């Protein structure tokens, strides 16, 4: 198969669909890989590295869209890219179609086979191609929070781990899923005094067994949240109710009970945020202050660590890319019902029910596509 990767053109997107190592795997399996010149610059992977891995460097995205059987990307195709997609071509990338009628319309019109990373599942019902970005964001949340706690950034001048003779900072992590677990791991590793709140008894039990004495777990209800938030130096917002806007767990009233210079990192901001006073910020200007409390609410945290994020993403996307390249998309989807869940648009039809329902479009089951 001819597989192509283009330079991401979305604003401030530095990740890339295929690393040189992934290209090497594909070419070792006998596939031809086309890489747009400069596609890997954002992660420090120059054209020469891709060439060494067996890729052919191509000057323009247009040539790749015209030649490749499968395009492997990171972000959803932008309008100019969608215009270059061809009928029958495979597009394998994050799509997030439900809130994006324009993109959905263009993908339908293209006739391409569009497989979305974010809806591919695994045997435990998880979303394995979304998980690495939550791991990155969870870990980054502690770095971002630690920086914001410094005086120069408006924080109360507290070192997360303290030093011998001085108590560590109190960190409250609201939501103990992938983001929360990774945030708690980092905070506990730095020696902070960590409490994780969740409302799922199973999640609390797992966290309790994993962390033992290194972090406390607490059931998430109003009273416990209010107490933890008032005492915390750093609060991480990491809740998710799948498919719904994040619940506003920390109200503007609760914020007034917090210490001046305390920090809120609202990772759930991409779902609207779980603090009432949150609004989305960017890496260029990540924080603002309300009632003396520093808010960090960057909606695309993994973008700041494009290299780590690209490698983490490739670890989970490459095995499917290899199978699609080897078997063709139909057979790969026939054999793997979890990858089949990734099919969002095919031959001008929406094949993912939630996207069809949200956009009021007819739904055509993925099973029909592979029949």
Could you list the residues that contact ligand NAD (CB under 6 A)?
133-134, 137, 174-180, 197-200, 203, 220, 238-241, 246-247, 249, 267-271, 299-302
Please list, in sequence order, all residues whose beta carbon lies within 8 angstroms of the beta carbon of residue 158, skipping any fewer than 6 positions away.
149, 169, 233, 261
Tell me, yes or no, if 106 is annotated catalytic: no
Question: Considering beta carbons, is residue 122 or 367 the nearer one to ligand NAD?
Answer: 122
- Rounded to a whole number of angstroms, the minimum distance from the CB of residue 254 to ligand NAD is 13
Q: Which CB, 219 or 363, lies closer to ligand NAD?
A: 219
Take residue 82 and report the two structure tokens written for it.
Answer: 């969608």
Cα 221 from Cα 182, distance rounded (Å): 22
User: Which residue is at the shortest CB distance from ligand NAD?
Assistant: 177
- Cβ proximity to ligand NAD, 4 vs 42, nearer residue: 42
Specify the length of the chain in residues: 371
* Least separation in angstroms between CB 271 and ligand NAD: 4
Q: Which two tokens stand for residue 360?
A: 């009021």
Name the catalytic one among 69, 233, 266, 270: 270
Min dist CB 206 to ligand NAD, Å, is 9
**Catalytic annotation present for 96:** yes
Shortest distance, CB of residue 297 to ligand NAD, whole angstroms?
8
Nearer Cβ to ligand NAD (271/310): 271
- Residue 105 contacts residue 79 (beta carbons within 8 Å): no
* Residue of 96, 100, 336, 338 marked active site: 96
Considering the complex, what minimum distance in angstroms separates the CB of residue 301 from ligand NAD? 3
Backbone angles phi, psi at 175, to 5 degrees: 105, 115
- CA–CA gap between residue 271 and residue 115 (Å, rounded): 22
DSSP 221-290: -HHHHHHHHHH-SEEEE----TTSPPP--B-HHHHTTSPTT-EEEEGGGGGT-SBTT---BBTTB-EEEE
Query: Which is nearest to 181 in space by CA: 122, 133, 132, 139?
Result: 139
Q: Which of 210, 276, 190, 189 is nearest to 198 (CA)?
A: 210
- Residue 89 or 135: the one with the smaller Cβ distance to ligand NAD is 135
- As annotated, the active-site residues are 96, 270
């Amino acid at each position: 198969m001819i597989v192509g990767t283009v330079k991401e053109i979305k604003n401030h997107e530095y990740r890339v669909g295929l690393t040189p190592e992934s290209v090497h795997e594909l070419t070792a399996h006998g596939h031809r890989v086309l890489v747009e010149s400069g596609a890997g610059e954002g992660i420090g992977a120059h054209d020469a590295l891709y060439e060494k891995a067996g890729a052919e460097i191509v000057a323009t995205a247009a040539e790749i869209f015209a030649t490749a059987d499968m395009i492997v990307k990171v972000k959803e195709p932008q309008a100019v890219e969608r215009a270059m997609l061809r009928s029958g071509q495979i597009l394998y990338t994050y799509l997030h179609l439900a809130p994006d009628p324009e993109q959905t319309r263009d993908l339908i019109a293209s006739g391409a086979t569009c497989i979305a990373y974010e809806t591919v599942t695994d045997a435990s019902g998880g979303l394995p191609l979304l998980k690495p970005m939550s791991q990155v964001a969870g870990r980054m949340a502690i770095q971002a929070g630690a920086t914001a706690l410094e005086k120069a950034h408006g924080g109360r001048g507290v070192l997360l781990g303290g030093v011998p003779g001085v108590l560590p900072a109190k960190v409250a992590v609201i939501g103990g899923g992938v983001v929360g677990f990774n945030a708690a791991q980092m905070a506990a590793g730095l020696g902070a005094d960590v409490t994780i709140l969740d409302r799922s008894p199973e999640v609390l039990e797992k966290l309790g067994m994993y962390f033992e004495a290194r972090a406390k777990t607490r059931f998430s209800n109003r009273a416990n949240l209010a107490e933890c938030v008032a005492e915390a130096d750093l609060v991480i917002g990491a809740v998710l109710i799948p498919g719904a806007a994040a619940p506003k767990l920390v109200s503007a009233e609760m914020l007034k009970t917090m210490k001046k210079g305390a920090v809120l990192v609202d990772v759930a901001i991409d779902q609207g945020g779980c603090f009432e006073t949150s609004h989305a910020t960017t890496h260029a200007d990540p924080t603002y202050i309300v009632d003396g409390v520093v808010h960090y609410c960057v909606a695309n945290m993994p973008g700041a660590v494009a290299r780590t994020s690209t490698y983490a993403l490739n670890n989970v996307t490459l095995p499917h890319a290899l199978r699609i390249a080897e078997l063709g998309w139909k057979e790969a989807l026939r054999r793997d019902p979890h990858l089949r869940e990734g099919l969002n648009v095919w031959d001008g039809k929406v094949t993912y029910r939630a996207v069809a329902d949200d956009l009021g479009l007819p739904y055509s089951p993925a099973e029909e596509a592979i029949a």
